[in-house]
Amino acid sequence: AQAKWGFVGLGQMGYPMAKNLRAKVPQADSLIIYDINESTTRQFVEEASDPAHAAGASVTVAKSLQDVARNSETVITMLPQPKHVKAVYDDFMAAGLENPPSRLFIDCSTIDVKTSLDVGAAVRALGHEFVDAPVSGGVVGASAGTLTFMLGAPDHIVSRVQPILERMGKRVVHMGKPGTGIVGKLANNYLLAISNLATAETMNFGIKLGLEPKTLASLINCSTGRCWPSEVNNPVPGVVETAPASREYQGGFGVSLMAKDLKLAIAAAELADAKLVLADSAKRMYDEAEVHEECKGRDFSVVYKYLQLLEKK
Ligand code: NAD
């Protein structure tokens, strides 16, 4: 049978994800796409009609969000923030979707736990399925189709969702019931926010006390302080050649995305009265770096540079 796919939010992440999905589903399938930015949907259609990309589902651009919901069996959303996800799903649910068929909605955006649970409940109330499946791996992983999905879904739907996500990623980790995918993502990014900042502070004071940056990093990386920021994404320029720090902090994971995820993690912890003693200082650092002239738009490891700017004050 021909499957009908929908994709909403073709930004930095969504565009390559939709591209991989389209290329990996049977040619007889259809894909309907929507984004408020018309130039991105236009580009997607142009690319799909290029003979070099002939294989893959046929693509149409939807006139509205309701158009997507009505003409899809499975809809994937990849949107910036909670307010966008809420607005988009309100529109979907106002489309007067008949049931059966029960449609499947997969939200891959990184949003807060409460919005995700509320949206999921609204979708389920109309007899459709909703799962949260935020991702790790960034734009590079989205383009290469190597993302890790953190899936929050009822057990009965996992076998339907997994092969879909595997068209856009390498790993699907079923975290538990709805909402737990988001919790997993925010927990991981909380740790990343802290370990990145701690690495920046550590490298900074070690270097100031006379250590050679590469020597300090090598020591940490064969000792108990080792972490992804020390080993792969070291915040000190020149320590890891392939890290954003070594190219003026260009590319990578934007400092404003980290500031956003940290806020979401703090809100999630508050829902459960879980204490986060390091969150406030970390939040201040990312919030300030996000708007600072020399740091904005850069990789989140730029907090190392921001730390030094603070010292000069
Ligand atoms: P982006 O801003 O590049 O893309 C979002 C897209 O959604 C844009 O094309 C925008 O026009 C569209 N959009 C906004 N409102 C819309 C609406 N009402 N209807 C239709 N389209 C709408 O963002 P991104 O970097 O692709 O990130 C998407 C999500 O993925 C975010 O929640 C982000 O935190 C998460 N994420 C991003 C990365 C990364 O490295 N960029 C990594 C992991 C997770």
Domain with CATH 3.40.50.720 in the chain: 4-176
Tokens of 158: 């996992």
> Is 19 a catalytic site residue?
no
The three-class DSSP label of residue 21 is helix
Residue pLDDT tens, the chain, 313 long: 699 999 999 999 999 999 999 999 999 999 999 999 999 999 999 999 998 887 899 999 999 999 999 999 999 999 999 999 999 999 999 999 988 889 999 999 999 999 999 999 999 999 999 999 999 998 889 999 999 999 999 999 999 999 999 999 999 999 999 999 999 999 999 999 999 999 999 999 999 999 999 999 999 999 999 999 999 999 999 999 999 999 999 988 999 999 999 999 999 999 999 999 999 999 999 999 999 999 999 999 999 999 999 999 8
Give the H or E element holding residue 150.
Answer: strand 147-152
Domain with CATH 1.10.1040.10 in the chain: 183-312
- The rounded Å distance from CA 260 to ligand 1 centre is 12
Closest atom of ligand 1 to 81 CA is: 32
Residues 236 and 251: their CA atoms lie apart, in Å, by 15
CATH number assigned to the domain covering 183-312: 1.10.1040.10
Task: Indicate the length of the chain as a whole number.
Answer: 313
ipTM of the predicted assembly exceeds 0.95: yes
Topology of the domain comprising 4-176: Rossmann fold (3.40.50)
- The rounded Å distance from CA 3 to ligand 1 centre is 25
Residues 73 and 93: their CA atoms lie apart, in Å, by 14
C-beta of 154 in contact with ligand 1 (< 6 A): no
Residues 89 and 119: their CA atoms lie apart, in Å, by 7
- Measured in degrees and rounded to the nearest 5, phi and psi for residue 47 equal -65, -40
Considering the entire predicted model, what is its pTM?
A: 0.93
User: Of the residues 4, 185, 260, 305, which is catalytic?
Assistant: 185
